Structure 1
Amino acid sequence: MREKTIDYALRATWMSVAKMYNEEAGKKGSTMATGFALISIDPENGTPSTSLGPKMGMEATSLSRTLKVMEEKGLIFRKKNPHDGRGVLIYLTPFGKEMRNYSKDVVFAFDNAVKNTISPTKLEVFFEVLQNINDLIASKKIYINKETSTKG
C-alpha cells in the first residue's frame, strides 16, 4: 500500500521526522513534544495554557502531561493570567529558554538540510500541495457522499 496512498506517504514521512526529532531531543533528556511546547511558548510574555494545545495540535490530556513533566524538569512555571483570573500563563525558566534555543536549532538544522537538498521550485510545489490537502480537509467534503450513500 505504501506506493498507492497519499495517507501512507504522509504518515511514514511524519513518523520518520518524529523519530529523528525524538532522537535529537533524547540527547538532552527530552522529547519532541517538549521541544515543540518550548518553541510554542512566547519567551518574553508567556503563553496562555489554553492556546498551547491548538498551536501544537495536541489534545488537552497530552498537553497537561507534557506541561507537568516540563514543570518538574524546571523548564516552565505557571502564573495566573492578570487579564483573566481563571486562566494560567506558561512562562519559560532560564533553563527553559536555553532548551527552547536548542529545540529551535534542531528544527532549523532539519529545515536547512531539506532546503539545501531540494530545489526551491520543488519546495514551492510541496507547500502548495500541502495547502491544497489542508484546504480539502477543512472543507469537510471528503466523506459527505459516503454517509448519505450508505444509508437505506
Structure 2
Amino acid sequence: MCIFVPYMREKTIDYVLRATWMAVAKMYNEEAGTKGSTMATGFALLSIDPEEGTPSTALGPKMGMEATSLSRTLKNMEDKGLIRREKNPLDGRSVLIYLTDFGKEMRDFSKRVVLTFDEAVQEAISEEDLRTFKEVAHTIMELISTKKIYNQPETVTK
C-alpha cells in the first residue's frame, strides 16, 4: 500500500501521471544500476531487434527520445560493448544498430525487469481495473495526439 495515495487523490491528473512515472523510472534505474546500466539503456536494448538490427533513425521515434539524448545513449552503449553500428547495405546513408552478445544478455536482463514489474502490477490490480487504466491512458494519449486539449493556432506563412 502506497502511503502517498490519499495525498495524490487531491492532485491533478498530470501530477499523478508524473509522480507515478517518476517512481517507476527511479525503480527501473535502481534495478538497472545493479548491472551498471540505466533505464534509458534498457529501453534502447528492448527497442533494438535482436536478430535483424534496427536502423538508428527508427530508434528515436520508437523510443520517444530526442536525437541528442539518443546519440549519447547509443555512444555509451557502444563504449560498453552492448551494440555495434554497421552501414545499412540497402541505404549507405543510414546505420543499422546490432546487439552484441553482451547486448543480448543485457536485453534479456532488461526484459526480465520489465516483466517482473508487469507481473507484480497484474497480481496487485484486478483485470478490470487494469483494463480501465489502459483505456484511460489511451484516451489521454488520443486527446494529446489529436490536439483536442490545446487548439494549436494556425501558422502564418509569408
The answer on 1:115 being equivalent to 2:122 is yes
Q: Which residue of 1 aligns with 2:109?
A: 102
Q: State the TM-score, normalizing by the size of structure 2.
A: 0.90
Q: Which residue of 2 aligns with 1:73?
A: 80
Q: Which runs of 5+ in 2 are unaligned?
A: 1-6
User: How many residues are treated as equivalent by the alignment?
Assistant: 147
**Inter-partner Cα distance in structure 2 for 1:72 and 1:26:** 17
Q: Which residue of 2 aligns with 1:42?
A: 49
Q: Which residue of 1 aligns with 2:3?
A: none
Bigger Cα displacement from structure 2, 2-11 vs 93-102: 2-11
Shift of 1:141: 2.2
Shift of 1:143: 1.5
**Inter-partner Cα distance in structure 1 for 2:151 and 2:143:** 12
**Aligned-partner SS, 1:88:** strand
**Inter-partner Cα distance in structure 2 for 1:107 and 1:4:** 27
Give 2:83's aligned amino acid. Answer: I
Shift of 1:60: 0.3
1:53-101 deviations in Å (ceiling 9; x for gaps): 1111100000000000000000000000011110000000000000000
**Inter-partner Cα distance in structure 1 for 2:151 and 2:100:** 47
Q: Which residue of 2 aligns with 1:21?
A: 28
**Aligned-partner SS, 1:29:** coil
Aligned Cα RMSD in Å? 1.5
Q: Percent identity?
A: 72
1:35-59 deviations in Å (ceiling 9; x for gaps): 0000000000000000001111100
